[in-house]
Structure 1
Amino acid sequence: MQLFQVDAFTSTLFSGNPAAVVPLESWLPDATLQAIAAENNLSETAYLVPAGPASWELRWFTPAAEVPLCGHATLASAHVLFEILGAQAPALTFHTRWSGDLVVERDGARLAMRLPRRRTMPVDQADVAASVLGLRPRETFVVPVQDDETLLAVFASEAEVRDLTPDLAAMRRIDARGVLVTAPGTQADFVSRYFAPKYGIDEDPVTGSAHCALVPFWAERLNKTDFIARQLSKRGGELHCRLEEDRVVVAGRAVLYLSGEIHLPS
């Protein structure tokens, strides 16, 4: 089987978020999909199965589990289809199991994804956030995701977000599936980091799906609908975002790192 590794939300190799993309003719057993993702040991491996003209079924796996939505691996999948496998359609549609149909189209030099809008709900979990992040946030919220919740911690400054040194072992013990942190940016509208050790991702380099909640959140705070966002992981990444009525448009660039073959036993 073919395998491609793409750095997403960047135009420069060795930055952004790497994702594996594996085109399939039909679905393999879930245990095999999970084993390949664990072997790849990237934050996500995306699998594609043709579903009609300019449309594919799409699923995403971390090294530990299948996830309901992944932005950077969707961007990487569209890059592979457009730039390597020769898809000629103006837009690609991905049918997903938990996030509906996702459409990706060209936006100049970037690829723009229309992702579902997610809500945030205020909660009193500043003590929990402080216990795992080492610093008390100004506010805390939860983002409901597929019968689970992500904890959102809001800080006052970009420097606070950049300098966090979370206790990942403690983070595995809290109820939330992951912890998303954010603050106003200095050279971007807002910044973020995302930690999901329960899913085998200590820190995700760039998290497109997190912006399904971050964009509506900052739209209300900043009274605007177009944003440049930065994720402050070691690799880092830049996202161009726009809020629509029921969708969040997340756009970025991608670059191919490697292509190869997976050899499975017969």
Structure 2
Amino acid sequence: MKMYQVDAFTTQLFKGNPAAVIILEDWLDEALMQHIALENNLSETAFVKKNTLNNYDIRWFTPTDEVPFCGHATLASAFILFQQIEGLEYIEFETQQLGTFYIRQKNEKIVMNFPILKAHPLLDYPKTLESAFNIPFKAVYLNDQAYVVEYENAQQVLDVQPDFFKLKEVSIDSKRIYGKTRDIVITAPGKDHYDCISRYFAPAIGVNEDPVTGSIHTAVIPLWSERLEKDLITAYQASSRGGWLYGEILPNDRIEISGQAKLYMVADIHI
């Protein structure tokens, strides 16, 4: 079985967020897909099942769990399909919880059309969140995926030293409050060549700090688009690897998030 490893949201190898991509004719057993994701030990392994030339089902697994949405592994999957299938002009990815994602290529970028998953202000947030960071924050928001923690400036986001044990406690405790775990993203207005900056933490699903998180930018980019009164937003995720995302707000609560990718590895899995 062929597997590809792609660095997403970057133009350089060893930057961005690595994802594994496996393209299937039929689904594997769920337990086997989870074992493969654990063996890969990447933040995400994407499994893509072909329906037609342009239409595919897609699922994403961390080393410990299947997740409802992953942006960087969607980008990586589209990157491989566009490379492998000559003349492929667009892709439709069917998801289990968020409907159809529409993917195209433009000016060397892969453009992904997602629903906006807006974050709303949260006044009654877990107090453990305050002690989990060494720098006080400005405000907290919540969407279906994560607590969105706002800082005053980019340097604070860069300087934050998270307590991953406390963040894991916050994530797990959110299941008691809201019925599902929530990750944590910190964000602030950008500087220099980007409009906003972020870092993303998901210790409850085996990923202390995610290198670049496309999915949460369906909340982060709309937040800063509204604040900065701009429909086009350049976002930087400031992990040790770093990555760039380009967002455009569309009508009907949709967003286009674009990025580039680099192929790192092609492998054969023996199962």
TM-score by length of 2: 0.93
Please tell me whether the aligned partners of residues 3 and 266 of structure 2 are also in contact (alpha carbons under 8 angstroms). Answer: yes
How far has the Cα of 1:87 moved from its partner?
4.5
Bigger drift between 175-184 and 56-65 goes to 175-184
In structure 1, give the amino acid aligned to 2:167.
Answer: M
Q: What are structure 2's unaligned runs of at least 5 residues?
A: 175-181
Please tell me whether the aligned partners of residues 17 and 237 of structure 1 are also in contact (alpha carbons under 8 angstroms). Answer: yes
Once the two structures are superposed, what CA deviation does each residue of 1:54-80 show, in whole Å capped at 9, x if it has no partner?
A: 111100000010111100000000110
Structure 1 position 228 matched with structure 2 position 227 = no
Q: Which residue of 2 aligns with 1:165?
A: 161
Please tell me whether the aligned partners of residues 121 and 141 of structure 2 are also in contact (alpha carbons under 8 angstroms). Answer: yes
User: Whole-Å Cα distance in 1 between the matches of residues 242 and 214 of structure 2?
Assistant: 12
How far has the Cα of 1:126 moved from its partner?
7.4
User: Whole-Å Cα distance in 1 between the matches of residues 75 and 239 of structure 2?
Assistant: 18
User: Whole-Å Cα distance in 1 between the matches of residues 32 and 62 of structure 2?
Assistant: 13
Please tell me whether the aligned partners of residues 127 and 136 of structure 1 are also in contact (alpha carbons under 8 angstroms). Answer: no
Q: Which residue of 1 aligns with 2:263?
A: 256
Once the two structures are superposed, what CA deviation does each residue of 1:35-93 show, in whole Å capped at 9, x if it has no partner?
A: 0000000000000111113111100000010111100000000110111x224221111
What is the percentage of aligned positions where both structures have the same residue? 41
After TM superposition, the runs of 4+ consecutive aligned structure 1 residues lying more than 3 A away are: none
User: Whole-Å Cα distance in 2 between the matches of residues 32 and 45 of structure 1?
Assistant: 12
Please tell me whether the aligned partners of residues 126 and 139 of structure 1 are also in contact (alpha carbons under 8 angstroms). Answer: no
How far has the Cα of 1:132 moved from its partner?
1.2
1:107-256 to structure 2, matched below 5 A, reads 107-124=106-123, 125=125, 127-145=127-145, 150-174=146-170, 175-176=173-174, 177-187=182-192, 188-245=194-251, 246-256=253-263
1:47-62 to structure 2, matched below 5 A, reads 47-62=47-62
Once the two structures are superposed, what CA deviation does each residue of 1:105-156 show, in whole Å capped at 9, x if it has no partner?
A: 00111100001101212112374322112222101111124xxxx1111000
Once the two structures are superposed, what CA deviation does each residue of 1:228-256 show, in whole Å capped at 9, x if it has no partner?
A: 10000000001111111221111010010
TM-score by length of 1: 0.95
In structure 1, give the amino acid aligned to 2:190.
Answer: G
In structure 2, give the amino acid aligned to 1:140.
Answer: V
**Partner SS for 2:156:** helix
Bigger drift between 25-34 and 128-137 goes to 128-137
- RMSD over equivalenced CA pairs, Å: 1.1
Structure 1 position 7 matched with structure 2 position 13 = no
How far has the Cα of 1:170 moved from its partner?
1.1
Give the number of aligned pairs: 259
